[in-house]
């Protein structure tokens, strides 16, 4: 009797690009992919912080290089990507938020968040997909979305809109690229403890509200996202595309 074998979670020989990789979820994703055997290119705007991250990873024997890139500058980002060897894996982690009541949203805030969370993410995904198509290679493209792509949130109309949009273009790209064995998915975290969320977690009332909404009774840590990244990047998820992996502690379940 021949038993089935679990597909590998290893990423040896793979090349990965992670945007927003200098801190938080992006850095966690980069470390996770490298620990699974991939060579990871960490991309972000601040070269000093990127260099620090790459050096820390190298000290642990991980394969990583830095790429200074502002993804909101789409043409320069495309040029930077096209100067690289084709990537097998993308993790689009760069993003931002400016929260306010919907009736107080300014055009400046709307444009800033939309340009980064949707437009930049779209064209980075497009650039990596084009590389893979031209190289006739399979791949896994992962957009870091949010639980707010599946629900609404007070003071988060613009942010929710952008993440719903990410879900939309992810599904459409997955349909188009599926015949080429290029998978496109999202990871949808709940509130994760990162440098950007420090103000939220410094407010005891907000923390109590979060812990009540998250059914597992605790906020998320970067480590909670790392396994999901490796799973979607690897052959362990070979039949998964056009969908969302919710890492939300049960928030959207109820």
DSSP 81-125: HHTSPPPSEEEE---------GGG--HHHHHHHHIIIIIIHHHHH
**Helix or strand holding residue 192 (H, E):** strand 192-193
Q: Do the beta carbons of residue 95 and residue 49 sit within 8 Å?
A: no
Catalytic status, residue 122: no
Q: Would you give the distance in Å from CA 221 to the centre of its chain? A: 15
Q: Would you give the distance in Å from CA 10 to the centre of its chain? A: 19
Q: Select which of 87, 122, 159, 251 is catalytic.
A: 159
Residue 179, CA distances (Å) to 8, 123, 182, 237 in order: 22, 20, 8, 16
142: nearest Cα among 185, 175, 176, 174: 185
Q: Would you give the distance in Å from CA 161 to the centre of its chain? A: 17
Give the Cα separation of 120 and 169 in Å (integer): 12
DSSP 202-236: T-HHHHHHHHHHSTTSS-EETHHHHHHHHHHHSGG
Give the Cα separation of 199 and 210 in Å (integer): 13
Catalytic residues: 159
């Amino acid at each position: 009797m021949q038993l089935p074998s679990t597909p590998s979670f290893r990423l040896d020989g793979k090349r990965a690009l992670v945007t927003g990789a200098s801190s938080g979820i992006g850095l966690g994703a980069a470390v996770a992919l490298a620990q699974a055997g991939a060579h990871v290119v960490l991309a972000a705007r601040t070269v000093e912080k990127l260099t620090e991250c790459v050096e820390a990873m190298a000290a642990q024997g991980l394969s990583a290089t830095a790429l200074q890139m502002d993804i909101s500058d789409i043409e320069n980002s495309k040029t930077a990507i096209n100067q690289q060897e084709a990537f097998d894996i993308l993790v689009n982690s760069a993003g931002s938020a400016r929260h306010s009541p919907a009736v107080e949203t300014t055009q400046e805030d709307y444009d800033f968040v939309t340009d980064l969370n949707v437009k930049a993410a779209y064209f980075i995904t497009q650039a990596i997909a084009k590389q893979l198509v031209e190289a006739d290679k399979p791949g896994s493209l992962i957009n870091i979305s949010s639980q707010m792509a599946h629900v609404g949130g007070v003071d988060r109309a613009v942010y929710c809109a952008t993440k719903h949009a990410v879900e939309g273009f992810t599904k459409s790209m997955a349909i188009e690229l599926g015949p080429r064995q290029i998978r496109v998915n999202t990871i949808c975290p709940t509130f994760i403890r990162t440098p950007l969320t420090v103000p939220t977690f410094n407010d005891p009332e907000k923390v109590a509200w979060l812990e009540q909404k998250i059914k597992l009774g605790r906020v998320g840590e970067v480590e909670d996202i790392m396994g999901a990244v490796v799973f979607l990047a690897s052959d362990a998820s070979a039949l998964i595309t056009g969908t969302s992996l919710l890492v939300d502690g049960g928030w959207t379940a109820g």
